Structure 1
Amino acid sequence: MVEVVLFHHALGLTQGVIAFAADLRAGGHVVHTPDLFAGRTFDTLEQGVQHAQEIGFGEIIQRGARAVDGLASELVYVGLSLGVLPAQYLAQTRPGARGAIFLHACLPRSEFGSAWPKALPAQIHAMDADPFFVGDGDIEAVKALAGESADVRLFLYPGDEHLFSDRLLAAYDPAAAAVLQRRLLDFLADR
């Protein structure tokens, strides 16, 4: 059993994210789901990203950092798309992380001004033709991280959907999501 902090995607802390957290809890883990949008949810990625831009990405990261104040340092950070911002920031800068899982996104490690922590295991999951992940350069950031650390693994799934792991969205891919979930639970079991 590990303690996990799951940061939501740009649609907010939706029922799909809550269901994802429930799956992790069913695996025996303690899961925290901070609400970076203070109760707001959105129907489209464009609306959610616009809201995040209005808040400011730096503030999104700081809200994530404040959400873990008072929690143990030995956490696994999980980010769904936009949620990768605080998850990656905390994995790289907050001592004691036990692991990191980035779904549908990854940033260059230089965004947070520090090297990837030595021997910090991480998984990154995305679809191989996701226009955001591939087109926006996230895949290059992952390859650079994996080149620096043998403990960073990239898993690509066939398809072009962005939030394919959220069972309540049209982008949901049951087969890919099932494999992702198995890999994620195996990762957590090893922490």
Structure 2
Amino acid sequence: MLFHSVVGLHPAVEEAAERLRAAGHRVFTPDLFDGRVPESIEAGTELKDEIGQDEILRRAIAAAAPHSEGGLVYAGFSLGAWLAQTIAMGDEKARGLLLLHGTGEVQDDADVDGLPVQLHVADPDAFEPHDWLTVWYLKMRGAGADVEVFRYRGAGHLYTHRGLPDHDAEAAERTWRVAEDFLRDLD
């Protein structure tokens, strides 16, 4: 289950899904923005606020539910990473969690014994405070997750999204090679 960022079902989401499908994975890419594809992060943030974070989460849960019986790997870009993490943390059958460009909050009583988690983020990331990663990592490890973190110095926030100002082709390619290995190990 691959959730999009605030720029909606941007072509980069389908490119990522096709790459993962070519590697043998079934990939679902729900449209949580009703077909709207904002042209910038700022416009996407306005749309996210218009729809409401609770409604977006409800839509993501509804999109995942029909596919979750056999255990999903949840993945997402930025806002989608928050959605993926939030849902995976509550899904006892989750097989893995692939986070790109962001994370979610980890509750103090979270328990995800042995959940494989891989995070790919810009270093530094303009959308995150400087100490967020250490706090997130320690909380995820405390919840029992098996966490790997990959940081990409100098990349922009949505560096995997070709066509956006943040795009970094080299960092994006490194990300997908590592992520493909992670997903292959979960099969």
User: So what's the TM-score if we normalise by structure 2?
Assistant: 0.91
Task: Please report the RMSD computed on the Cα atoms of aligned residues, expressed in angstroms.
Answer: 1.7
- Residues 131 and 160 from structure 1, CA distance in 2 versus in 1: closer, same or farther, beyond 3 angstroms? farther
Aligned equivalents of 1:155, 1:167: Cα separation in 2:
20
Residues in 2 aligned to 1:91 and 1:150: alpha-carbon distance in whole angstroms: 11
Counterpart-to-counterpart distance in 1, 2:27 and 2:122:
25
Amino acid of the residue matched to residue 144 of structure 1? L
Q: 1:53 aligned to 2:53?
A: no
Greater mean deviation of Cα atoms: 14-23 or 165-174: 165-174
1:21 paired residue number = 17
Q: CA deviation at 1:171?
A: 1.4
CA, structure 1 residues 141+62, in 2 after alignment: closer, same or farther (shift >3 Å)? farther
Residue identity over aligned pairs, in percent, reads 38
- C-alpha contact (below 8 Å) 2:20/2:27 kept by paired residues: yes
**Residues 66-105 of structure 1 aligned to structure 2 (within 5 Å):** 66-73=62-69, 74-105=71-102
Q: What displacement does 1:101 show? A: 0.8
Instruction: Describe the superposition over 1:135-175 as per-residue Cα deviations: whole angstroms up to 9, x where unpaired.
Output: 5x642443223542461111111114100011232311111
Matched with 2:158 is 163
Kindly provide the amino acid, as one letter, of the partner of residue 89 in structure 1: T
Name the structure 2 match of 1:64.
Answer: 60
5 Å-filtered alignment, 1:87-166, equals 87-110=84-107, 114-135=109-130, 138-148=132-142, 149=144, 151-166=146-161
Q: Distance in 1 between matches of 2:160 and 2:55?
A: 26
Contact persistence 1:77–1:88 (CA under 8 A): yes
Kindly tell me the number of residue pairs found equivalent between the two proteins: 184
User: What code does the residue aligned with 2:181 have?
Assistant: D
Secondary structure of 1:59's counterpart equals helix
Contact 2:120 2:149 in 1 (8 A): yes
Shift in alpha-carbon separation, 1:114–1:51, aligned structure 2, 3 A? farther
Q: Partners in 2 of 1:44 and 1:18 — Cα distance?
A: 17
SS of the residue corresponding to residue 67 of structure 2 reads coil
In 1, Cα distance between equivalents of 2:96 and 2:176:
16
Please state how far the C-alpha of 1:181 moved relative to its aligned partner.
0.4
- Aligned counterparts of 2:100 and 2:159: Cα–Cα separation in 1: 9
- Cα separation, 1, equivalents of 2:152 and 2:33: 29
Whether the 8 Å CA contact 1:12–1:48 is kept in 2: the answer is yes
Write the distance in 2 (CA, Å) between the matches of 1:95 and 1:150: 12
Q: Any stretches of 5+ residues in structure 1 without a counterpart? A: none
Per-residue Cα deviation, 1:11-64 (whole angstroms, up to 9, x for no partner): 101111111111111111000000000100111111101111111111111110
Instruction: Determine which of 174, 183, 187 is the counterpart of 2:178.
Output: 183
Unpaired segments ≥5 residues, structure 2: none
